[in-house]
Amino acid sequence: MLELERIKIAIIGQGYVGLPLAVEFGQKYPTIGFDINEYRVQELSLGTDNTLECTEEQIKSSHNLSFTAQLNDIKSANFYVVTVPTPITDENTPDLTPLKKASEALASVISKGDVVVFESTVYPGATEEICLPVIERLSGLKFNQDFFAGYSPERINPGDKVNTLTKIMKITSGSTPEVADYVDSVYSSIITAGTHKASSIKVAEAAKVIENTQRDLNIAIINEFAKIFNRLDIDTEEVLKAAGTKWNFLPFKPGLVGGHCISVDPYYLTHKAKEVGYAPEVILAGRRINDGMGQYVATQMVKKLSSEKIHIDESRVLIMGFTFKGDCPDVRNTKVIEIIKELKDFNVQVDVFDSWADPIEVEHEYGIELISKLEEGAYDGIILAVDHDETKAMGIEAIRKLGRQKHVLYDVKHVFAPGVADIRL
């Protein structure tokens, strides 16, 4: 294996995962951040990150880091890290297209003795069954003889400025014991929280996919609790606070489960489970509950409007928040869109406000035109769908003023205390 002094790193994909990694590696080693999006590369070269994961100061202080959209520019690297997205199809099956394309690209630049590490979330076995055969076939190099591999799952939490890359323990693995030691030493050099060297690539893949699957199921049971407590006219948050006084009660909250991880990764695991002849039940039950929460919120709003004698047809509802989580600009797989679709099926006029979201991206991906200004006294219903700090800072009086004299306020994310809103999840 190469000495760390001779390492030259290329990070393929410069999104929420790849950029922070490139910035940290670029503090110590020659590092190239590669992305197929030329505009993204241009803005990063100027120190601008529209995902807000890295500041201009952080990017520019990474003195060994450069960015490129040209594949030939990363041929000189000898340690490649793949951080491309792993989405799902409309049928909730793994879409490995970005990963396959990244593997094809690697095949054209990889050289003898190089190491490639995958960070994208996959099902156990995907790295060795899907990615490495593509590199081997197209490059003409023999896996574990001419080139080597590892897997180190990403653990980035978008928008989290406390639990950042270096402060989260990193799982590492390699295709041989020697490679595993080498991959671990590379990551250990930047991860202050330490590393955990898994016994195999498959173990590392499995560990990642169950992290988010477990979280998805925990939120699903809380969402089911919320549905029950709503029927019993009990405030869910008050119940959770009471139950939380026991030392081993897990502090999860109800809500919309979107984003590129928690709402996606379970389908990777269930896909592989079915492939090997096991029919998963609990995981898919949790997915059904969480996937249906947007529709549930919309239905609850419509029922409350009706009970308040507010005419549903052509009523006007404001949704505050569109990103998949608070204080984060990421709109990938946001479940707020499900609330909007369901309300529109009731012929409700829906306005969406979110200063964190990119209006151009939202319109392109979802066909939704965000409003840029809030209008007082205009709405029959207001839904607090995302808990941005700026929403909290507005205060309940200012938010109530956006509604008509008779209106319904639905606090999905428990932005305010119990009893403040008309409905809470």
Q: Among the options 54, 131, 261, 328, which is catalytic?
A: 261
356 contacts: CB under 8 Å, gap ≥ 6: 323, 327, 328, 329, 386, 388
Residue 261 bears catalytic tag: yes
Task: Look up residue 25 and give its two tokens.
Answer: 């590696």
Say if CB 368 and CB 352 are below 8 A apart: yes
Which residues on adjacent β-strands are paired with residue 196? 171
Question: Which is it for the CA torsion 51, 56, 58, 63, positive or negative?
Answer: positive
DSSP 341-367: HHHHHTT-EEEEE-TTS-HHHHHHHH-
45 contacts: CB under 8 Å, gap ≥ 6: 66, 67
Amino acid type, 354: D
Say if CB 165 and CB 25 are below 8 A apart: no
Residue 28 CA from chain centroid, whole number: 27
Give the span between the Cα atoms of 259 and 261, in whole angstroms: 6
Task: Look up residue 73 and give its two tokens.
Answer: 């520019």
Phi, psi of 90 (to 5 degrees): -65, -20
- CA neighbor of 210 nearest in space, from 324, 286, 277: 286
> Which residue, chain included where needed, has tokens 């930047």?
190
Give the span between the Cα atoms of 228 and 233, in whole angstroms: 9
- The vertex-207 CA angle with 111 and 77, nearest 5°, equals 15
Give the residue numbers marked as catalytic.
261
